[in-house]
Every structure is written in structure tokens, then in C-alpha cells.
Amino acid sequence: MDLIDLIEEKRFIGQEFLAWLWFKSEERGGSVELPGRGDIQVAFEKHMLLEYGEGPESEKLICRGLQTELREARAGLALG
């Protein structure tokens, strides 16, 4: 397997990590606890592209704007 195939195959790990990080920061008002280190602040700004599904059944949602409320994105996060 070449590097490009490996990156494509494992891409979901980064996407899952960012979704988890966003979820954890939403739970605690924008902060995430690092055990043994304390809290860090997390901010998602400018734009966010959310994708769900594959092929013709896929859906995309783009949220834009500095410090936007990301209402649609938050609703998607709440729905899983």
C-alpha cells in the first residue's frame, strides 16, 4: 500500500478526533481537560465543513463566519 492509499484509508481517525475534541469542548464551555496539565481552551473559527455518508447519499454542511454560532453544525453534533 502506498502512502496516499494509507492516508486515505486512515483519514477518518483525524476526523473522529476533531469531532471528539469539538464535543468535549462543547460539554465544558470551550475548554478541554488535559489530565495532569489542566484545562485548555478550544475554539473553532471561520468555517467548518461537515460530511455525512458516502456516494450519492452523502450530505455536506458548510458553516462560515468568524466565531459563528455554528447552530447547524451543533445540531449535527447533537444528532451524532
User: What does the angle CA 56 – CA 62 – CA 66 come to, to the nearest 5 degrees?
Assistant: 170
What is the residue range of 73's domain? 3-78
User: What does the angle CA 66 – CA 57 – CA 18 come to, to the nearest 5 degrees?
Assistant: 40
Give the pLDDT confidence of 20-61 residue by residue, as tens digits. 888 888 888 888 988 999 999 988 777 777 777 777 888 877
Domain tally, the chain: 1
pLDDT of residue 24: 84
